[in-house]
Structures are given as C-alpha cells and as structure tokens.
Structure 1
Amino acid sequence: MKKQFKKGFTLIELLVVIAIIGILSSVVLASLNSARVKARDVKRIADLKQIRTALDMYYNDNNQEYPADLAALVTGNYMPATPADPLNSGNYIYQYTGISSDVSGAPCDSYHIGATLEDTGNAIFDSDIDNEGGGTVCTGGTGSDFDGGGVDYCGSSTATTDACYDLKP
C-alpha cells in the first residue's frame, strides 16, 4: 500500500509566511517615508535656489533693486510660476521679505527668503544664514522680516531647533 501525502501548506505555515511578509512590508514603508521627507526637502531647497537666481536676474535688470514680493518674478517673466510645496501642492510655506537698509518705504536693496524643512536634522542647516530678521520692509512690501532661526514656518519666534532654511543675497 502506498502512503499518500497531502499536497499544500498547513494553516500554521501560511500564517508564518503572512506574518513575515507583514513585518517586511512595514520596514520597507517606514524607510520609504523617510526618503520621501528628504526628497521633499531637497525640492524645497532647489526651489529656494531657483527663486534666488530669479531675484538676482530681477536685481540686475531693475536698477539694482529687488522686488517687494515674489509675484513680480512671475509677472516679469523671471520664473514661469511661484513653486508649489511638494507636500500639499499648495503655496509654499515661504517667507519672503524685500528689505531696505535705509528707511521704511525705500526701494528694496536686499531680501530675506526662507522655507520650513521637514527634517530638522538636515545638514543643510549648517550652510544657511539663520538671520534673526529685523530688516526694514521696503516700498510695496507687506508684513515684517521673519526670524530665520525659528521652527514655526520660519516664524517670528526664536527657537533652539532650527527648521527654517533661509537665504539672503
């Protein structure tokens, strides 16, 4: 008499395989999220540098003056559009201030631009300026200069943890 073997897997074997697949997929998803955060920060930094280049071109074409706001870069054909945030596709959590070294209401002879990054441990913070603001808003400008050392969307409060990547000319 031949011994007949059953074909297939037992319930325990199937559960073990499913558990292993679940653990592996959670590890992969966790590492993908970290990569996505870094990719969005790289995009924000690249966009800031693109805006900086457009500001330099505007400055050279407009009697050594910067615009009071970023919209002038689009209307002046220095950029096709103001970049959108890679996380929510809306407007950037940007701060831009046209600054006058003279008095309020004078033309813009400087600027301060920044964006909040998601990765607070990013090494790029070693190369930003961490300007504490306080510049005088120039003609056509609104609001006030921001604190580049802040954590709340390049906000107005000084903080020890820097999540604001900011640039000046």
Structure 2
Amino acid sequence: MRRYKKGFTLVEIMIVVGIIALISALVLLPNVLRSRLNANDAFAQATLKTISNALESYLGENSAYPADINTLRTATPPYLNSDYFDTAPHNGFTFEATALADYSYLITATPISATQGTRSFTISTGGLLK
C-alpha cells in the first residue's frame, strides 16, 4: 500500500500565484494611472507659474508685458529657456497665451486628453492660478 504525502502540486501553486498577481494588478493599476495624472497636473501648474514669473520679470524690466509670448524665449538673456508654446504637448498639456496685452495676460494649460490631465489650468496677471 502506497502512502501519499499531503500538499499542493506545482500547478496548484502556480494558479494561486497567478490569481494573486492578477488581483494585485487590478488594485495597483488605477493608483499608478492616478499618480501620472497628478504628476502631469503638478507639472502644468508649475509651468504656468514659471511662465508667469517670466512675464512679471519682463514687465519689471520693460514696463509692459511682451506683445508676443515668444519674446520671452528670444530675448537676451531669455526669460524662458523652453518653448512651452510650440504645438507639441509637454507632459500631456498644451500651453496657450489666450490674452496678452501691455498690462495683462492669461495663459492656459489644457490636457490633450482625459488620460493626461484632470482639467485645464489658467494663470492671469499677477500670478493668479485657477
């Protein structure tokens, strides 16, 4: 008479490991996606503040905001080192100077899709971020 040892087979163990991996992936994936959205939103807000600071510096030295937003990048020395206003998105956002006058501005950061950012952000004269 043969005696069998009690225990799990390799196949049973692999199935359990697979199920645990699947469940953990389903739980962790939304957190990873949410983290990316939060990071992109934070990048957009920080970029808007950088652009606002550049505009305020330009105003301080020239007594008016620039007529063209690209002046911030082409001035010597440049007020901005990056061209945020080109057509390519930056971390899922596009940036646009929607209103630029001698003494006021409105800059908008818009996500290219709902998977890239949670909402649009704007910054206006004086660095008011909304």
- Same fold (TM > 0.5): yes
Tell me, yes or no, if the aligned pair for 1:58 and 1:67 is still in contact at 8 Å: yes
- The offset of 1:68, in angstroms, is 2.3
Partner of 2:29: 29
- Tell me which protein shows more strand as a share of its residues: 2
Tell me the TM-score normalized by structure 1.
0.58
Q: How many residues align?
A: 113
Partner of 2:74: 75
CA distance in 2, matches of 1:59, 1:9: 74
- Tell me which protein shows more helix as a share of its residues: 2
Structure 2: give runs of 5+ residues left out of the alignment: 112-116, 126-130
One-letter amino acid of the structure 1 residue matched with residue 103 of structure 2:
D
Q: Which has the higher contact order (CA 8 A, sep 6+)?
A: 2
> What aligned pairs does 1:1-169 form with structure 2 within 5 A after superposition?
3=3, 5=5, 9-62=9-62, 64-76=63-75, 77-83=78-84, 85-87=90-92, 92-96=93-97, 97-99=99-101, 108-117=102-111, 118-119=117-118, 163-169=119-125
Partner of 1:153: none
RMSD between superposed Cα atoms in Å: 2.3
**After TM superposition, what 4+ stretches of structure 1 lie above 3 angstroms from structure 2?**
1-8
Tell me the TM-score normalized by structure 2.
0.74
- The offset of 1:38, in angstroms, is 0.6
